[in-house]
Structure 1
């Protein structure tokens, strides 16, 4: 009986190992090239598809729906006064204001000063716009905003005049830098100034009333002033409409091409 001997398997030669590594590398390289090419094709399709989809959807969408206001997501307008709110009466105390900052800061500051004039029972003189610190522009209030609309929109809230009465032009004035972030009670205390002065000049309008737990009607007054009363002047409104029409025509021409 012949006993079979045990043979240990021969290890692969260096040449075989090298060949296997080359084949594995070649396989992964081909896979990489294939998926890279597919990715570029998909990317080109994505760049073209939204454009065509957008135009096809726009063509099918009614104009009323296209230009309708965006959804409110449950948010409601907060500008109407409550039933407890009383209309403004004639006040013989006057407040002049020099607005400061850029245009948006001045708008917010003017809305604050409308609320302050209401709290202090003052007649508000149309504010002067900043011409030195940031604005660097010679424009007046009526150049930027619709002055008559501003006065008429707020006539039930605050009495507003274009300028001081002639007899008060040279009377002594209390000049104030109101404390920023002050509460309603602070401005109620400031009414003590009316005992000595008929005119208060506010050197800066950035009193920042928004986060000071204001009464609901005062907060709503700020909103009315900022979003309803401070409308741009007719020349600016007209120019804005021309620009928007031009942009719409340009977009339509681009879509047709």
Structure 2
């Protein structure tokens, strides 16, 4: 038996909630409205972009007309609140003389040599050794015959680090012929590794390091050792007087060129 009343009721609900078929006129009106709205949005965004371009400075013309004062041009860059962390902590102890020596050949380009030398200063401190002024690499493709004193201020290097590490220009004569431990220190090693290397002092008085690329920067170094690296890299390794003089001459010429421009 069919319940006609319920069937009629469902049909009325379906017709109420299902949309009726749109007429061609309504579809055309909808498309025109959508197109007009899109054109309006496009024109509005284009206007904003043009206004922003007009407000931007003309960098080419600005650089041509603006002259930077010489004292600002050659002054130190902005620190943005950062301070150099090179001061020794209260627990830091001054270095004492040692009859154990480390010799090293610094490899790579100039920047790599500087970083490697600062690492070897820290290694000498950790191993309680006297550091002989490093030899610069003369065997690579650079074919540069420059010595340490040709590039860096040797006396300043030794004097500025005297509280940290004992540094000498040359190995003592009586040790030139003694057997040496020749090592390639493992890169990225921490303080514990170099503490273990102290065992070499039981058999050798001189350790020769074939390359200075130790890469100590990110190995959880004690604060004072990390600051020692900074002192060596940014204060002790100063260019030699002839290079410093040449740099001043070049800066003067650059200043004259700036004023003429």
TM-score range normalised by the length of the shorter chain: 0.7 to 0.9
Pair 1:137-2:144 in alignment: yes
Equivalent position to 1:47, from 41, 55, 60: 60
Pair 1:76-2:83 in alignment: yes
Q: CA deviation at 1:141?
A: 0.2
C-alpha separation between the residues in 2 aligned to 1:114 and 1:50?
44
* Cα distance, 1:230–1:45 mapped onto 2, change above 3 Å: closer
In structure 1, stretches of 5+ residues that fail to align are 1-34
SS at match of 1:98: strand
C-alpha separation between the residues in 2 aligned to 1:46 and 1:78?
37
* Cα distance, 1:229–1:44 mapped onto 2, change above 3 Å: closer
TM-score normalised by L of structure 2? 0.75
C-alpha separation between the residues in 1 aligned to 2:198 and 2:59?
65
Match in the other structure for 2:189: 182
Q: CA deviation at 1:64?
A: 5.8
Deviations 1:162-214 (A, max 9, x none): 00011001000000000000010000000000000000000010010000000
Aligned residue pairs total 210
Q: CA deviation at 1:76?
A: 1.2
Match in the other structure for 1:5: none
Q: CA deviation at 1:92?
A: 0.6
In structure 2, stretches of 5+ residues that fail to align are 1-49
1:135-174 alignment to 2 at 5 Å?
135-174=142-181
C-alpha separation between the residues in 2 aligned to 1:68 and 1:49?
22
Match in the other structure for 1:3: none
SS at match of 1:109: helix
TM-score normalised by L of structure 1? 0.76
* Cα distance, 1:134–1:207 mapped onto 2, change above 3 Å: farther
C-alpha separation between the residues in 2 aligned to 1:225 and 1:240?
21
Match in the other structure for 1:242: 249
Equivalent position to 1:221, from 228, 245, 253: 228
C-alpha separation between the residues in 2 aligned to 1:150 and 1:230?
6
C-alpha separation between the residues in 1 aligned to 2:87 and 2:56?
51
C-alpha separation between the residues in 2 aligned to 1:183 and 1:248?
46
Match in the other structure for 1:124: 131
Deviations 1:131-182 (A, max 9, x none): 1224320000000000000000000000000000110010000000000000
SS at match of 1:96: strand
C-alpha separation between the residues in 2 aligned to 1:43 and 1:220?
44
C-alpha separation between the residues in 2 aligned to 1:200 and 1:115?
15
